[in-house]
């Protein structure tokens, strides 16, 4: 049995940050990353953007340079899925039968795309976008036909729709709710992106309930909706969110109500077991008064760093300011703060001009900003978020008032 001082499960943004931060802190113990992913660690955001369109190749999305892992003395154990954790014996077992011991375990296993359950969910031509292998499979099938149906109008579905439109595909987006991005943004953002996608030729259908996928010879041919519509489909992309990957930790006894519960140092309820990233349920100091899971590169990287600091004996509680971005067509959406459970949204600027921000308030304080092609608001809004400012609404909504002038001075 191999044994590491720190064993990291997952080679995504959380896992990479944990290992890099440990070495940056001059941690001298042995470190390994074990990952279900067979590829060297890479950046996930380009998968629905430049990597899908082919504008970036795999080498340009590597998380670190080719020599990094060897130079830093981090072993990569790739293509191995951890199926069980034994917290008493401090060891994990992989589906391939490997047993690996650990001093500290950092669980950064992200999530699994939710799948459809209706008839036809298992036909060929259905895809999810989570890993490089997913996108390579999808790209390999793009020559098979023109009609792509994207199920789910969240960020990944919409980015994929924009990328495939760029590649000349006829794209239909199906959203079950009455607006796009309903779980992550306020209506002005939803309406704006709806207009943008329609103006680029995407057939967006709201309130669209998929009843089944039809196929021939094992491959998808049509998507059927509850209202009787039958949409031709050569390829279907399912982008309906993720389930956090925590089954092994849950079986080991960790508290996993929706993801694995962690404290401000990213410690789970199991001794010497930490968790970071999409799978970590935590109390975020910029969020509402309830634990949340945050699915972003920032959160994964900063939580990985938080776990590393604690392991290296230099604890710093997790308090990073949340940020996020999404690129669709020539639009750059940048988010600062967390809008979860917001109770008011103010529009700043004119969406019809393609440059505006939405300011989210929670209990009267600025909780987050979504900035569309408004880098200045994104940069200056940080001060408002970090000061938990209560600011005059009229001033916030007036694009002529620079946000930095509204940040309370100490």
Q: If you ran DSSP here, which 8-state letter would residue 310 be given? A: H
DSSP codes of every residue in 113-182 = E----SBTTTSBTEE--SSHHHHHHHHHHGGG-SEEEEE--SHHHHHHHHHHHHTT-EEEEEESSSSTTT
Residue 246 neighbours by CB under 8 Å, 6+ apart? 107, 109, 254, 256, 259, 260, 275, 279
Which residue, 201, 197, 222, is CA-closest to 210?
Answer: 222
Q: How far is the CB of 113 from ligand FAD (least distance, A)?
A: 8
Q: Which two tokens stand for residue 229?
A: 């519509």
Among 37, 234, 302, 377, binds ligand FAD (CB under 6 A): 37
Q: How far is the CB of 10 from ligand FAD (least distance, A)?
A: 3
Work out whether 44 is an interface residue with ligand FAD (CB under 6 A): yes
Among 295, 302, 370, 377, binds ligand FAD (CB under 6 A): 295
Q: Give the CA-trace dihedral at 190, 196, 198, 203, to 10 degrees.
A: -60
Work out whether 10 is an interface residue with ligand FAD (CB under 6 A): yes
Q: Contact at 8 Å (CB) between 331 and 396?
A: no
Which of positions 186-215 make contact with ligand FAD (CB under 6 A)?
none
Name the one range near ligand FAD by CB under 6 A: 35-43, 118-126, 179-187, 209-217.
Answer: 35-43
Q: How far is the CB of 15 from ligand FAD (least distance, A)?
A: 6
Among 274, 318, 324, 378, binds ligand FAD (CB under 6 A): 324
What is the Cα–Cα distance from 122 to 127, expressed in whole angstroms? 10
Which of positions 113-132 make contact with ligand FAD (CB under 6 A)?
129-130
What is the Cα–Cα distance from 385 to 391, expressed in whole angstroms? 11
Residue 113 neighbours by CB under 8 Å, 6+ apart? 128, 129, 130, 238, 239, 240, 241, 242
Considering beta carbons, is residue 235 or 407 the nearer one to ligand FAD? 235
Binding mask 84-103 vs ligand FAD (x if CB under 6 A, - otherwise)?
Answer: --------------------
Binding mask 217-246 vs ligand FAD (x if CB under 6 A, - otherwise)?
Answer: ----------------------------x-
Q: How far is the CB of 187 from ligand FAD (least distance, A)?
A: 22
How many beta carbons lie within 10 A of that of residue 28, not counting itself?
Answer: 11
Q: How far is the CB of 161 from ligand FAD (least distance, A)?
A: 12
Work out whether 82 is an interface residue with ligand FAD (CB under 6 A): yes
Q: Which residue has the tokens 């988010």?
A: 335
Work out whether 45 is an interface residue with ligand FAD (CB under 6 A): yes
Work out whether 36 is an interface residue with ligand FAD (CB under 6 A): yes
Among 87, 110, 287, 322, binds ligand FAD (CB under 6 A): 110
Cα separations (Å) of 107 from 3, 5, 277?
A: 16, 14, 9
Q: How far is the CB of 25 from ligand FAD (least distance, A)?
A: 19
- Between CA 106 and CA 113, with CA 111 as vertex, the angle to 5 degrees is 165
Give the H/E segment covering residue 383.
helix 375-386
Work out whether 109 is an interface residue with ligand FAD (CB under 6 A): yes
Among 326, 340, 357, 380, binds ligand FAD (CB under 6 A): 326
Q: Where are the alpha helices (DSSP H) in 25-123?
A: 50-53, 68-71
What 3-state DSSP class applies to 340? coil
Q: How far is the CB of 65 from ligand FAD (least distance, A)?
A: 18
Considering beta carbons, is residue 169 or 245 the nearer one to ligand FAD? 245
Name the one range near ligand FAD by CB under 6 A: 119-127, 294-302, 309-317, 380-388.
Answer: 294-302
Among 2, 30, 81, 321, binds ligand FAD (CB under 6 A): 81
- The radius of gyration of the chain from alpha carbons, rounded to an integer in Å, stands at 22
Work out whether 297 is an interface residue with ligand FAD (CB under 6 A): yes
Q: Which residues bind ligand FAD (CB under 6 A)?
A: 9-15, 34-37, 44-45, 47-48, 81-82, 108-110, 129-130, 156, 245, 248, 277-278, 295-298, 300, 324-326
């Amino acid at each position: 049995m191999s044994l590491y001082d720190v064993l990291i499960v997952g080679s995504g943004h959380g896992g990479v940050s944990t290992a890099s931060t440990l070495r940056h802190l001059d941690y001298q113990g042995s470190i390994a990353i074990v990952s279900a992913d067979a590829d060297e660690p890479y950046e996930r955001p380009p998968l629905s953007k430049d990597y899908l369109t082919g504008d970036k190749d795999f080498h340009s999305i590597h998380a670190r340079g080719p020599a990094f892992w060897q130079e830093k003395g981090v072993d990569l154990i790739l293509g191995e899925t951890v199926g069980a954790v034994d917290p008493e014996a401090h060891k994990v077992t992989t589906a391939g039968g490997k047993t690996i011991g650990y001093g500290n375990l950092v669980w950064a296993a992200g999530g699994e795309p939710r799948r459809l359950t209706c008839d036809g969910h298992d036909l060929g031509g259905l895809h999810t976008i989570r890993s490089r292998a997913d996108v390579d499979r999808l790209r390999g099938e793009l020559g098979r036909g023109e009609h792509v149906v994207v199920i789910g109008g969240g960020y990944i579905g919409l980015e994929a729709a924009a990328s495939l439109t760029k590649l000349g595909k006829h794209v239909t987006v199906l959203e079950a709710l009455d607006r796009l991005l309903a779980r992550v943004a306020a209506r002005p953002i939803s309406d704006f992106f709806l207009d943008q996608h329609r103006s680029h030729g995407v057939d967006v259908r709201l309130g669209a309930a998929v009843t089944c996928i039809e196929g021939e010879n094992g491959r998808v041919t049509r998507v059927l909706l509850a209202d009787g519509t039958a949409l031709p489909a050569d390829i279907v992309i399912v982008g309906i969110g993720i389930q956090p990957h925590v089954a092994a930790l849950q079986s080991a006894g960790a508290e996993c109500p929706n993801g694995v519960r962690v404290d401000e140092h990213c410690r789970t309820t199991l001794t010497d077991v930490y968790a970071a990233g999409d799978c970590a349920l935590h109390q975020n100091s910029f969020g509402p008064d309830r634990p949340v899971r945050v699915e972003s590169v920032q959160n994964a990287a900063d939580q990985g760093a938080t776990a590393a600091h604690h392991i290296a004996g230099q604890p710093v509680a997790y308090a990073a300011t949340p940020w996020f971005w999404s690129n669709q067509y020539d639009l750059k959406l940048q988010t600062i703060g967390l809008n979860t459970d917001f109770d008011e949204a103010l529009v700043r600027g004119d969406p019809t001009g393609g440059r505006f921000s939405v300011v989210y308030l929670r209990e009267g304080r600025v909780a987050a900003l979504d900035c569309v092609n408004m880098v200045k608001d994104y940069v200056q809004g940080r001060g408002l978020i970090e000061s938990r400012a209560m600011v005059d609404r009229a001033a916030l909504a007036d694009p002529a008032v620079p946000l930095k002038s509204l940040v309370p001075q100490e």
